[in-house]
Amino acid sequence: MRSLNRNKRSIYYALPTGEEEKLYDEYGNETGEINIVYGDAVKLDINVSAATGEDAVEAFGSFTNYSRILCVSDIKCPITEDAKVWFGVEPTEAHNYIVTRKADSKNGLLYALKEVKVR
């Protein structure tokens, strides 16, 4: 799998670095919820699909809960599942995608992105 530079677009991603417990709500009650802590946003030029198609569905099996696919030929790409992704927006704004699945092969990686609305 090769990635042509003319097909690459800029994204930003932030990897999960750990978890912290959200111990109390606004009323002082214990919630037991866990918040994921993320690192800083990193810029990456990568191939981003225009839409979901049949080839993408086969790559991830019957999993269809995604709206875009990242395709990269570097099998050492550090992006992981649950990473935040900014595509078409700056990282100073709220992220608009999250990585839901990763599919790897000898020649490259595919990442399924799900569009999210963050308040």
**Comparing 66 with 100, which gets the higher pLDDT?**
100
Which pLDDT tens digit goes with each residue over 43-53?
Answer: 999 988 875 64
Topology (CATH) of 5-115:
Thrombin, subunit H (2.40.10)
**Comparing 4 with 3, which gets the higher pLDDT?**
4
Q: For residues 95 and 34, give the distance between their C-alpha atoms in angstroms, rounded to a whole number.
A: 19
Q: How many helices (H) and strands (E) does the chain have?
A: 1, 8
Q: For residues 70 and 80, give the distance between their C-alpha atoms in angstroms, rounded to a whole number.
A: 12
Give the domain ranges of the chain: 5-115
Cα distance between the two ends of the chain: 37
Question: Binning pLDDT at 50, 70 and 90, where does residue 2 land?
Answer: low
Q: For residues 3 and 29, give the distance between their C-alpha atoms in angstroms, rounded to a whole number.
A: 51
User: Would you state the pLDDT for residue 1?
Assistant: 47
Question: Binning pLDDT at 50, 70 and 90, where does residue 21 land?
Answer: confident
Which pLDDT tens digit goes with each residue over 59-98?
Answer: 666 555 678 899 998 889 999 999 999 999 999 999 999 9
* Sequence-distant (≥ 6) Cβ neighbours of residue 15 within 8 angstroms: 38, 39, 78, 79, 80, 83
Of the candidates 77, 72, 73, 68, which has an alpha carbon nearest to the alpha carbon of residue 97?
68
The residue type found at 98 is I
